[in-house]
Structure 1
Protein backbone atom coordinates (compact mmCIF):
# COMPACT_ATOMS: atom_id res chain seq x y z
CA UNK A 1 0.00 0.00 0.00
CA UNK A 2 2.78 2.43 0.86
CA UNK A 3 4.46 1.61 -2.43
CA UNK A 4 1.34 2.68 -4.30
CA UNK A 5 1.21 5.98 -2.45
CA UNK A 6 4.85 6.72 -3.19
CA UNK A 7 4.43 5.88 -6.88
CA UNK A 8 1.42 8.22 -7.27
CA UNK A 9 2.12 11.07 -9.64
CA UNK A 10 -0.36 13.83 -10.34
CA UNK A 11 -2.17 13.58 -13.67
CA UNK A 12 -2.00 16.93 -15.48
CA UNK A 13 -5.16 16.16 -17.51
CA UNK A 14 -7.20 15.38 -14.38
CA UNK A 15 -5.89 18.51 -12.66
CA UNK A 16 -6.90 20.66 -15.65
CA UNK A 17 -10.41 19.16 -15.66
CA UNK A 18 -10.75 19.80 -11.94
CA UNK A 19 -9.53 23.41 -12.31
CA UNK A 20 -12.04 24.11 -15.12
CA UNK A 21 -14.87 22.54 -13.12
CA UNK A 22 -14.10 24.75 -10.12
CA UNK A 23 -14.01 27.85 -12.34
CA UNK A 24 -17.39 26.96 -13.84
CA UNK A 25 -18.78 26.24 -10.40
CA UNK A 26 -17.45 29.57 -9.12
CA UNK A 27 -19.52 31.41 -11.74
CA UNK A 28 -22.70 29.76 -10.44
CA UNK A 29 -22.11 30.38 -6.73
CA UNK A 30 -21.87 33.96 -5.43
CA UNK A 31 -18.60 34.85 -3.74
CA UNK A 32 -20.20 35.85 -0.43
CA UNK A 33 -23.43 34.22 0.64
CA UNK A 34 -25.86 36.84 1.78
CA UNK A 35 -27.80 36.05 4.92
CA UNK A 36 -30.34 38.45 6.31
CA UNK A 37 -29.54 39.82 9.74
CA UNK A 38 -31.89 38.45 12.39
CA UNK A 39 -34.34 41.04 13.58
CA UNK A 40 -34.71 41.15 17.34
CA UNK A 41 -38.14 42.22 18.57
CA UNK A 42 -37.96 45.44 20.49
CA UNK A 43 -40.32 46.42 23.25
CA UNK A 44 -42.14 49.68 23.10
CA UNK A 45 -40.68 52.36 25.36
CA UNK A 46 -41.86 51.88 28.93
CA UNK A 47 -42.82 48.18 28.40
CA UNK A 48 -40.83 45.26 29.72
CA UNK A 49 -40.63 41.92 27.94
CA UNK A 50 -40.88 38.78 30.09
CA UNK A 51 -38.32 36.27 28.77
CA UNK A 52 -39.40 33.45 31.07
CA UNK A 53 -41.82 30.60 30.53
CA UNK A 54 -45.27 30.81 32.08
CA UNK A 55 -45.36 29.42 35.65
CA UNK A 56 -47.20 26.23 34.64
CA UNK A 57 -44.40 25.29 32.19
CA UNK A 58 -41.46 25.94 34.52
CA UNK A 59 -39.58 23.02 36.04
CA UNK A 60 -38.42 23.42 39.64
CA UNK A 61 -34.66 23.67 40.10
CA UNK A 62 -32.68 21.17 42.16
CA UNK A 63 -32.71 23.42 45.22
CA UNK A 64 -36.52 23.72 45.13
CA UNK A 65 -37.21 19.98 45.47
CA UNK A 66 -36.54 17.73 48.46
CA UNK A 67 -35.53 14.77 46.33
CA UNK A 68 -36.00 12.77 43.17
CA UNK A 69 -37.13 9.19 42.57
CA UNK A 70 -36.86 6.71 39.75
CA UNK A 71 -38.01 3.11 39.33
CA UNK A 72 -35.37 0.38 39.04
CA UNK A 73 -37.19 -2.84 38.03
CA UNK A 74 -34.15 -5.04 37.39
CA UNK A 75 -31.76 -6.40 40.03
CA UNK A 76 -29.19 -3.87 41.23
CA UNK A 77 -25.60 -5.14 41.26
CA UNK A 78 -22.89 -3.15 43.03
CA UNK A 79 -19.25 -4.24 43.31
CA UNK A 80 -20.19 -7.66 41.90
CA UNK A 81 -22.81 -8.21 44.62
CA UNK A 82 -26.58 -8.18 44.14
CA UNK A 83 -28.30 -5.74 46.50
CA UNK A 84 -31.03 -7.35 48.61
CA UNK A 85 -33.56 -5.72 50.93
CA UNK A 86 -32.53 -6.07 54.56
CA UNK A 87 -36.19 -6.40 55.62
CA UNK A 88 -37.68 -8.91 53.18
CA UNK A 89 -34.85 -10.12 50.93
CA UNK A 90 -36.26 -8.63 47.69
CA UNK A 91 -33.62 -8.06 45.03
CA UNK A 92 -35.55 -6.29 42.27
CA UNK A 93 -38.31 -3.74 41.68
CA UNK A 94 -36.64 -0.90 43.60
CA UNK A 95 -37.48 2.76 43.89
CA UNK A 96 -34.19 4.68 43.94
CA UNK A 97 -34.50 7.88 45.98
CA UNK A 98 -31.96 10.71 45.79
CA UNK A 99 -32.32 13.22 48.60
CA UNK A 100 -29.89 15.49 50.46
CA UNK A 101 -26.84 13.92 48.73
CA UNK A 102 -27.87 10.40 49.82
CA UNK A 103 -29.24 7.47 47.86
CA UNK A 104 -31.95 5.31 49.41
CA UNK A 105 -33.50 2.13 48.05
CA UNK A 106 -37.13 1.25 48.72
CA UNK A 107 -38.50 -2.20 47.98
CA UNK A 108 -42.04 -3.05 46.91
CA UNK A 109 -43.10 -3.83 50.51
CA UNK A 110 -41.97 -0.42 51.80
CA UNK A 111 -38.62 -1.19 53.46
CA UNK A 112 -36.04 1.55 52.94
CA UNK A 113 -32.28 1.28 53.25
CA UNK A 114 -29.49 3.72 52.59
CA UNK A 115 -27.06 2.67 49.86
CA UNK A 116 -23.64 4.14 50.56
CA UNK A 117 -22.04 2.64 47.42
CA UNK A 118 -24.16 4.93 45.23
CA UNK A 119 -23.97 8.70 45.09
CA UNK A 120 -25.83 11.61 43.55
CA UNK A 121 -23.52 11.62 40.52
CA UNK A 122 -24.52 8.01 39.75
CA UNK A 123 -28.18 8.97 40.11
CA UNK A 124 -27.81 11.95 37.76
CA UNK A 125 -26.05 9.80 35.13
CA UNK A 126 -28.61 7.02 35.38
CA UNK A 127 -31.94 8.79 35.81
CA UNK A 128 -33.81 10.09 32.83
CA UNK A 129 -35.69 13.36 32.73
CA UNK A 130 -38.42 13.89 35.32
CA UNK A 131 -41.86 13.26 33.90
CA UNK A 132 -43.81 14.71 36.85
CA UNK A 133 -43.41 16.65 40.07
CA UNK A 134 -45.32 15.88 43.24
CA UNK A 135 -45.82 17.74 46.50
CA UNK A 136 -46.06 14.61 48.67
CA UNK A 137 -43.82 11.54 48.98
CA UNK A 138 -46.84 9.21 48.79
CA UNK A 139 -48.06 10.84 45.58
CA UNK A 140 -44.71 10.17 43.94
CA UNK A 141 -44.72 6.53 45.10
CA UNK A 142 -48.24 6.12 43.71
CA UNK A 143 -47.12 7.68 40.40
CA UNK A 144 -44.27 5.14 40.18
CA UNK A 145 -46.60 2.22 40.93
CA UNK A 146 -45.63 1.50 44.54
Structure 2
Protein backbone atom coordinates (compact mmCIF):
# COMPACT_ATOMS: atom_id res chain seq x y z
CA UNK A 1 0.00 0.00 0.00
CA UNK A 2 2.75 2.42 0.93
CA UNK A 3 4.64 1.70 -2.27
CA UNK A 4 1.62 2.90 -4.27
CA UNK A 5 1.52 6.15 -2.28
CA UNK A 6 5.28 6.68 -2.82
CA UNK A 7 4.95 5.92 -6.54
CA UNK A 8 2.03 8.35 -6.91
CA UNK A 9 3.97 11.10 -5.08
CA UNK A 10 7.01 10.50 -7.28
CA UNK A 11 4.86 10.68 -10.41
CA UNK A 12 3.29 13.91 -9.17
CA UNK A 13 6.75 15.41 -8.51
CA UNK A 14 7.96 14.43 -11.97
CA UNK A 15 4.83 15.90 -13.55
CA UNK A 16 5.36 19.14 -11.61
CA UNK A 17 8.99 19.35 -12.74
CA UNK A 18 7.99 18.75 -16.38
CA UNK A 19 5.23 21.38 -16.13
CA UNK A 20 7.62 23.97 -14.64
CA UNK A 21 10.18 23.15 -17.34
CA UNK A 22 7.60 23.64 -20.09
CA UNK A 23 6.52 26.97 -18.56
CA UNK A 24 10.14 28.12 -18.31
CA UNK A 25 10.83 27.10 -21.90
CA UNK A 26 7.73 28.98 -23.07
CA UNK A 27 8.96 32.09 -21.22
CA UNK A 28 12.35 31.88 -22.93
CA UNK A 29 10.77 31.52 -26.37
CA UNK A 30 8.36 34.39 -25.66
CA UNK A 31 11.22 36.67 -24.58
CA UNK A 32 13.31 35.89 -27.66
CA UNK A 33 10.66 36.47 -30.29
CA UNK A 34 9.44 40.02 -30.91
CA UNK A 35 5.69 40.51 -30.51
CA UNK A 36 3.92 40.43 -33.89
CA UNK A 37 0.70 42.11 -34.80
CA UNK A 38 -1.72 39.53 -36.31
CA UNK A 39 -2.24 41.67 -39.45
CA UNK A 40 1.52 42.12 -40.00
CA UNK A 41 3.50 39.43 -41.74
CA UNK A 42 6.51 38.19 -39.81
CA UNK A 43 9.83 39.54 -41.07
CA UNK A 44 13.04 37.57 -40.90
CA UNK A 45 15.20 40.35 -39.51
CA UNK A 46 14.32 43.79 -38.26
CA UNK A 47 16.66 46.63 -39.16
CA UNK A 48 18.16 48.43 -36.16
CA UNK A 49 16.49 51.76 -35.47
CA UNK A 50 19.72 53.60 -34.66
CA UNK A 51 23.34 53.18 -33.72
CA UNK A 52 24.04 50.98 -30.74
CA UNK A 53 24.85 52.91 -27.58
CA UNK A 54 28.53 53.09 -26.70
CA UNK A 55 29.19 51.52 -23.33
CA UNK A 56 32.55 51.82 -21.63
CA UNK A 57 32.94 48.36 -20.15
CA UNK A 58 36.69 48.70 -19.57
CA UNK A 59 38.15 48.82 -16.10
CA UNK A 60 39.17 52.22 -14.77
CA UNK A 61 42.87 53.00 -15.36
CA UNK A 62 43.85 52.44 -11.71
CA UNK A 63 42.58 48.83 -11.87
CA UNK A 64 44.17 47.85 -15.18
CA UNK A 65 47.20 45.58 -15.25
CA UNK A 66 49.98 46.66 -17.60
CA UNK A 67 50.65 44.35 -20.53
CA UNK A 68 54.00 42.62 -20.99
CA UNK A 69 55.19 45.23 -23.50
CA UNK A 70 54.54 48.05 -21.01
CA UNK A 71 56.67 46.44 -18.28
CA UNK A 72 60.47 46.49 -18.41
CA UNK A 73 60.78 43.35 -16.31
CA UNK A 74 59.38 41.32 -13.45
CA UNK A 75 60.83 40.26 -10.11
CA UNK A 76 60.01 37.70 -7.48
CA UNK A 77 61.61 36.75 -4.18
CA UNK A 78 63.03 33.22 -3.92
CA UNK A 79 64.02 32.37 -0.33
CA UNK A 80 65.13 28.79 -1.08
CA UNK A 81 68.35 27.52 -2.67
CA UNK A 82 68.25 27.08 -6.44
CA UNK A 83 69.47 23.67 -7.64
CA UNK A 84 70.34 23.38 -11.34
CA UNK A 85 72.06 20.36 -12.90
CA UNK A 86 72.52 18.80 -9.42
CA UNK A 87 74.45 21.77 -8.07
CA UNK A 88 73.36 24.56 -5.77
CA UNK A 89 73.64 27.99 -7.39
CA UNK A 90 75.72 30.39 -5.29
CA UNK A 91 76.54 34.05 -5.72
CA UNK A 92 79.80 34.41 -7.65
CA UNK A 93 80.99 37.27 -5.38
CA UNK A 94 79.84 36.48 -1.83
CA UNK A 95 78.90 32.77 -1.96
CA UNK A 96 75.30 33.20 -0.79
CA UNK A 97 73.13 30.34 -1.96
CA UNK A 98 69.62 31.32 -0.76
CA UNK A 99 67.34 34.35 -0.38
CA UNK A 100 67.47 35.36 -4.04
CA UNK A 101 65.61 38.00 -5.94
CA UNK A 102 64.91 36.57 -9.41
CA UNK A 103 64.61 39.15 -12.17
CA UNK A 104 63.15 38.41 -15.61
CA UNK A 105 63.85 41.07 -18.20
CA UNK A 106 64.43 41.13 -21.98
CA UNK A 107 64.21 37.33 -22.24
CA UNK A 108 66.90 36.75 -19.60
CA UNK A 109 66.79 35.68 -15.97
CA UNK A 110 69.08 37.35 -13.45
CA UNK A 111 69.73 36.37 -9.85
CA UNK A 112 70.34 39.04 -7.22
CA UNK A 113 71.57 38.15 -3.75
CA UNK A 114 70.76 40.05 -0.56
CA UNK A 115 74.13 41.88 -0.80
CA UNK A 116 73.12 43.35 -4.19
CA UNK A 117 75.32 41.25 -6.47
CA UNK A 118 73.65 40.29 -9.76
CA UNK A 119 74.51 37.46 -12.10
CA UNK A 120 72.97 36.19 -15.30
CA UNK A 121 71.64 32.65 -15.02
CA UNK A 122 71.57 31.16 -18.52
CA UNK A 123 70.12 27.83 -17.34
CA UNK A 124 66.87 29.55 -16.36
CA UNK A 125 64.56 31.10 -18.91
CA UNK A 126 61.43 33.20 -18.96
CA UNK A 127 59.33 30.02 -19.25
CA UNK A 128 60.77 28.81 -15.93
CA UNK A 129 60.13 32.23 -14.39
CA UNK A 130 56.53 32.29 -15.62
CA UNK A 131 55.88 28.78 -14.26
CA UNK A 132 57.20 29.62 -10.80
CA UNK A 133 56.04 33.21 -10.34
CA UNK A 134 52.63 34.10 -9.02
CA UNK A 135 50.45 37.02 -10.02
CA UNK A 136 51.96 40.47 -9.65
CA UNK A 137 50.86 42.29 -6.53
CA UNK A 138 52.23 45.70 -7.52
CA UNK A 139 53.87 47.68 -10.30
CA UNK A 140 56.66 50.16 -9.71
CA UNK A 141 58.05 53.05 -11.68
CA UNK A 142 61.70 52.36 -10.83
CA UNK A 143 63.90 49.37 -10.09
CA UNK A 144 64.74 50.77 -6.64
CA UNK A 145 61.05 51.07 -5.72
CA UNK A 146 60.56 47.42 -6.58
CA UNK A 147 63.62 46.44 -4.51
CA UNK A 148 62.23 48.38 -1.57
CA UNK A 149 58.82 46.74 -1.99
CA UNK A 150 60.39 43.25 -1.94
CA UNK A 151 62.58 44.06 1.08
CA UNK A 152 65.96 44.09 -0.67
Q: TM-score, normalised by structure 1?
A: 0.75
Name 2:15's counterpart in structure 1.
27
Deviations 1:23-79 (A, max 9, x none): 4442231253627769xxxxx968521111001110100110000000001111112
Runs of 4+ in 1 over 4 A off after TM superposition: 19-22, 35-38, 44-47
Aligned residue for 2:37?
A: none
**SS at 1:29's partner residue?**
helix
- 1:54 matched to 2:52? The reply is no
Please list every run of 5 or more consecutive structure 2 residues that lacks an aligned counterpart in the other structure. Answer: 1-6, 32-49
Q: How does 1:1-146 map to 2 (within 5 A)?
A: 23-30=11-18, 32=21, 34=24, 47-146=53-152
Shift of 1:128: 0.6
Q: RMSD of the alignment, in Å?
A: 2.8
Q: 1:120 to 1:22 in 2, by over 3 A?
A: farther
Q: In the aligned structure 1, how far is the partner of 2:8 from the partner of 2:82?
A: 65
Q: Which protein is richer in helix relative to its size?
A: 2
